[in-house]
Structure 1
Amino acid sequence: MNVSRMATAAAFVCSAGLLVLALSGCGPATETATAATACPTAAAQDGVQPDWTLVGTTGSVAVTAPTETTAPTITVAAPFSVAETQVHTLQAGDGPVVADSATASVCYVGVNGRDGAVFDSSYQRGDSVEFPLDGVVPGFQKAIAGQTVGSSVAVAMNAADGYPQGQPAAGILPGDTLVFAIKILGAG
């Protein structure tokens, strides 16, 4: 996986905080650090089979779900792009269904399909993030709403469902497809 650590993207967009703040238009988001909401920071073992492989309009992506002790992996054959947003449940949870307007607590990693670079990751920080789904970009909401708490999901979102005009401070250009692996920890 082509990994490039960047400072938290929303720090550039909102002067402080997380990309999720940018996803939510700089609205309220909370980073938490309790044991129950910590995100594992360990890398997955080599050779683990992906839970989802998607051939895009260009390139491809392979996503492996997180475990209790490892972060997910997203491997991109760049440049990767999709014409329509694609959501895939990597592992179904057994909690309640997440409503469209819920406030969700998640661990996530976001990768740019153009170059395979990680542009934000709560897994790298080791802390989950909480935010209202009705305040995030459409692709992130499509990935989480309707899923069950405890699920791990992946989304490959086209630029229209992400950042149509780009997000230069995060290295996202107009037209970039974004890929997220998300673990839904809670919703209310």
Structure 2
Amino acid sequence: MPSSFTLVAGAAMVALTLSACGSSDTDTDAAATTTTAPAAESITTTVSETTVAASECPTTAPADGVTPDWNLSGSTGSVAVTGATESSAPAVTVEAPFSVTETQVQTLQAGDGPVVSDTATVLVCYMGVNGRDGSVFDSTYEQGAPIDFPLGGVIPGFQKAIAGQTVGSTVGVAMTSADGYPEGQPGAGIQPGDSLVFAIKILDATA
């Protein structure tokens, strides 16, 4: 049976940093600034939480019956992604276990801003879902505030999803384990081999 996971307010956004080898043991300064719960790892090697209006990462669930912006059949399972709007968070419906053998990126709604370079620092709202079981393991929508980070400091699949897009776009990406966390991230419930799905809203980018 498919499981629907719609972003709503409640869970805390993760703000732990992640080193290149996947461990945050030496990132004591960043870890010390994390004041909210689960011990999941974030997608970035360097993350700074940005103070902005909560409306920039809306916490309201999308209306019932909204047609997904992207339906994707994987090598196993399938996923349906509904992008965020100005007033609602994204939604992801997973027929688990979902997996892909090649990372796939889909522009859900194109923005009209400048093109994002692969070395830009971006300001985004995002949610991450584990294809193996459909669980949400990381989300900025749960607190309502975006974060900013350099694209050179994120997992490859996240960079592939954002670089070349335009500011204002919403983007979906289904990534292989190799483009995510090939060795897993136990604190986030991610196992080696897990394919991941992200729904991303690009709010701004600077060179």
Tell me the TM-score normalised to structure 1 length. 0.91
Cα offsets for 1:92-123 (capped at 9, x unmatched)? 00000000010000000000000000001100
1:94 & 1:124 partners in 2: Cα distance? 26
In structure 2, what residue type is equivalent to 1:157? Answer: M
1:183 aligned partner: 201
2:64 & 2:128 partners in 1: Cα distance? 20
Q: Decide whether the 8 Å contact of 1:2 with 1:115 is kept in 2.
A: no
Whether 1:52 aligns to 2:73 is no
The verdict on how the C-alpha distance between 1:114 and 1:3 changes in structure 2, with shifts beyond 3 A counting, is farther
The verdict on how the C-alpha distance between 1:51 and 1:2 changes in structure 2, with shifts beyond 3 A counting, is closer
1:135 aligned partner: 153
1:113 aligned partner: 131
The verdict on how the C-alpha distance between 1:156 and 1:135 changes in structure 2, with shifts beyond 3 A counting, is same
2:155 & 2:44 partners in 1: Cα distance? 7
1:113 & 1:93 partners in 2: Cα distance? 27
1:95 aligned partner: 113
In structure 2, what residue type is equivalent to 1:64? Answer: T
The verdict on how the C-alpha distance between 1:36 and 1:103 changes in structure 2, with shifts beyond 3 A counting, is farther
Identity across the alignment (%): 62
Please state whether the residue corresponding to 1:139 is helix, strand or coil: helix
Cα offsets for 1:9-42 (capped at 9, x unmatched)? 55496435499974222x2x22223228731000
User: 5+ residue gaps in structure 1?
Assistant: none
The verdict on how the C-alpha distance between 1:98 and 1:21 changes in structure 2, with shifts beyond 3 A counting, is farther
Whether 1:24 aligns to 2:44 is yes
1:113 & 1:119 partners in 2: Cα distance? 11
1:186 & 1:21 partners in 2: Cα distance? 23
Please state whether the residue corresponding to 1:23 is helix, strand or coil: coil
1:111 & 1:24 partners in 2: Cα distance? 16
Tell me the TM-score normalised to structure 2 length. 0.83
The verdict on how the C-alpha distance between 1:132 and 1:62 changes in structure 2, with shifts beyond 3 A counting, is same
Cα offsets for 1:128-164 (capped at 9, x unmatched)? 0100001100000000000000000000000000000
User: 5+ residue gaps in structure 2?
Assistant: 19-23, 25-30
What is the root-mean-square deviation in Å for CA atoms of aligned residues?
Answer: 2.4
1:2 & 1:150 partners in 2: Cα distance? 24
User: Superposition pairs for residues 147-158 of structure 1, below 5 Å?
Assistant: 147-158=165-176
How many pairs does the alignment contain?
A: 186
User: Superposition pairs for residues 13-92 of structure 1, below 5 Å?
Assistant: 14=24, 15=31, 16-17=33-34, 22-25=42-45, 27=46, 29-35=47-53, 38-92=56-110
Please state whether the residue corresponding to 1:77 is helix, strand or coil: strand
Whether 1:104 aligns to 2:122 is yes
Normalized per residue, the structure richer in helix is 1
Please state whether the residue corresponding to 2:86 is helix, strand or coil: coil
In structure 2, what residue type is equivalent to 1:24? Answer: T
